[in-house]
Amino acid sequence: MAVLGLKYGCNPYQGEASISCDGPLLPLSVLNGRPGYINLLDALSGWQLVCDLKTATGLPAAASFKHTSPAGAALAVPLDETESRMYFAPKEPSPIATAYIRARGADRMSSFGDFIILSDICDESCAKVIKGEVSDGILAPGYTPEALEVLKAKRKGSYCILQMDPSYKPSSALETRTLFGLTFTQERNTFIPSDKDFTNIVTKAEDISEEARRDLVVAMLTLKYTQSNSVCYACRGQSVGVGAGQQSRIHCTRLAGGKADLWMLRHHPAVLGLPFKPGLSRNDKDNVIEQYLADEREVDVIASWEACFTHKPEELTKEEKKAFIASFQPLSLASDAFFPFRDNIDRAAKSAVRYIVQPGGSLRDDDVIRAADEHGIVMVLNGVRLFLH
């Protein structure tokens, strides 16, 4: 049996932490640093997600995980000029660097201190992006020598770097977990979206563009590895708002929708043109942007802007924000279970959602479909629940 000892369990006082497998070797190796229990939960869930994304789309993929759910997941769709500015991206990033820039950019506040997972070899371009971010570690199928040198210098040499064997497949179709001395067993979730998952269109609007279909795939696969209840908004090959672990579905939809709104507003010319003082870090800029776009702020936060801007910027009104979101390109949305009430659809429509995939099966499916028709939304009922607990 192969065993890897970990720093500690979920908390520092929970010792005897390790991972193991029946074979002579673990499918992952530690190249630098020392991983913890939560690091490995994030790394192994994220690895499955990026592999699923690449299998489904053929594109390199990246994920930014925090506390066993993705803060962001993305494909290597080229950045346009606006995206490059809003993500603080370097010139001409490599495909895998682009995937991570998008994954991190989906929700930069939640990605602070993330664990990074890449589907492809980490190159120097990607490593240099990661160098400037606050992150706990990374897992990838390999690293170029230049990338490894850059990453090993992070966190005073303690940055956690894991390498995954890309050929590894679990030996069993079953997975187990132990809770309170009892062992649970079930089949692993092997769902990958395919064409058949988009055939049951139940709304008057029926046309789904190839880009929207790709985004629905991204959203569904993101939910597959997100703690339930969960809802995911997606656009341009990436998640842009993830609502995870809420007991009520409308709370998921609101939480994810609020994140999607902030993501869209980061495209606004007023945000792109904020007069930051030279030398302000990316993380400080993220915090300031969040406060700038907030509808309600503390007075002391506004006063602190003097330390961030060369001059006080003109603020966006609620009406201006609403109009900008309404004019944005269509977003896609997936839910890990059915919508019990139409309020979810009404909220999604406020965030430019025009494509939805969900399992269906609610007693109020007719009300939910009627709401989608009123908003001109294309809705697919694919019958696939994606709970994760």
Residues annotated as catalytic are: 66-67, 229, 389
* CA–CA distances in Å: residue 4 to residues 16, 43, 111, 157: 11, 14, 26, 20
Strands 18-21 and 230-235: unpaired
φ/ψ (deg, to 5) at 372: -60, -40
3-state secondary structure of 163: strand
For the chain, the residue count is 389
Q: How far apart are the first and last CA of the chain?
A: 27
Burial of 152 (0-12, 13-18, 19+ CB in 10 A): middle
State how far the Cα of 204 lies from the Cα of 211, in Å rounded to an integer. Answer: 20
| DSSP at 307 | G
Burial of 373 (0-12, 13-18, 19+ CB in 10 A): middle
Residues near 200 by beta carbon (within 8 Å), at least 6 away in sequence: 360, 380, 381, 382, 383
| 118 in Cβ contact with 141 (< 8 Å) | yes
If phi > 0 it is left, if psi is from -120 to 50 it is alpha, else beta; for residue 100 that is: alpha
